[in-house]
Amino acid sequence: MDLIYTDKNGIDKDIMPTYELDVAFGRDENDFLCTIAIEDHCCVPQDRIYMKDSVDGKNKWTDIGGIIDQIKLNTESGDVMYSGRTWHGILEGKVLCPDTGQDYLVLSGEANTVLKGLITRMGLEELFEADSTDSQITIKSYQMDRYIGGYTGIRKMLKAVKAKLKMIYKSGKVQISAIPLVDYSQDEKWDSTQISAQISKNDFPTNHVICLGKGELKDRKVIHLYMDAKGKVSKTQTYFGIREVTEIYDNANTESEDELEQKGREMLEDAYAAANAMDVKFKNNEDYDIGDYVGTREYYTSIQIREEITKKIVKVNRNGISIECQIGE
């Protein structure tokens, strides 16, 4: 792959000289560090870098890149270090807020059209553009968390409709679109032997949350939420007796019943994720995206795990390129 550097307007300058690159994006970090020899120094703050590949003579655009925010020199080692935000980090650096007088930002419509509106709301039209084609994915009255980072908010919104954010840098713009996520754990053609895993499973995590909201004593708002064996959260109890494990979510300051219930659901979902933990290493993971799902089954114990890819780490050095996927929050 070539690492290209551009000016602040996205006009290509040249291919980066011999370099080392460390990029992380997803649930956290969302930044990069590029190191070159001091005699090859070629960039200034606000320049952009992006990576592209060539397959069968055709360009393959990627989501690896960002804006240089800082430059450091190390005269002892003879290195220059360029660091900055990835495209994901630029989105995350914006906060999605409710409109004045509203409790929540509520979004509806065709997914790419919604993404276009969010780009405008965040003031990022100069760098980002949404795909103009119909994604065939519909957002229905999605309620954003109050004051949430742009990238996190978009990921959560699309996850709610079984979709993911696709992002590539091409022709001076970060082009984003909504596409269906891929659940490799359900794909019979997917070779699960390409991953090695350390698996832990707890059959009895917290499966009942009592959500306590506003009010006093008998007038206090109380919502009971339950989780079944597959991690599905509802108001129907499936575990009883010694199999029932209960916790309390207590927030008397919660104004909205929906918000109270959502926090309870998140508490159960987090408990399920912690009880079904999987530390995965991929042999080949270049095509996996943030938001896709992977899984494996250990046949001696019959333990089966399914987890979301939430972070990718890309490293380039003299030995080549490595891409690591991480799962879970």
pLDDT tens digit string along 88-104?
999 999 999 999 999 99
Q: Are 325 and 280 in contact (CB under 8 A)?
A: yes
Query: Chain centroid to CA 313: how far?
Result: 12
Express each pLDDT in 49-91 by its tens digit. 999 987 777 888 999 999 999 999 999 999 999 999 999 999 9
The pTM score is 0.77
Average pLDDT by consecutive 10-residue portion of the chain (329 residues)? 94 96 96 97 97 83 96 96 98 97 95 98 98 97 94 96 96 97 75 63 90 93 94 94 96 87 93 75 69 76 76 91 82
Q: What is the pLDDT of residue 26?
A: 95
In angstroms and rounded to an integer, the radius of gyration of the C-alpha atoms of the chain is 23
Q: What is the pLDDT of residue 282?
A: 57
Q: What is the pLDDT of residue 38?
A: 96
Q: What is the pLDDT of residue 307?
A: 80
- Cα–Cα dist 91/132, whole Å: 19
- Cα–Cα dist 128/197, whole Å: 37
- Cα–Cα dist 30/66, whole Å: 9
Backbone angles phi, psi at 40, to 5 degrees: -100, 5
Q: Where are the domains of the chain?
A: 2-90, 94-180, 184-201+277-314, 208-274
Class of domain 94-180: alpha beta
Q: Are 168 and 62 in contact (CB under 8 A)?
A: yes
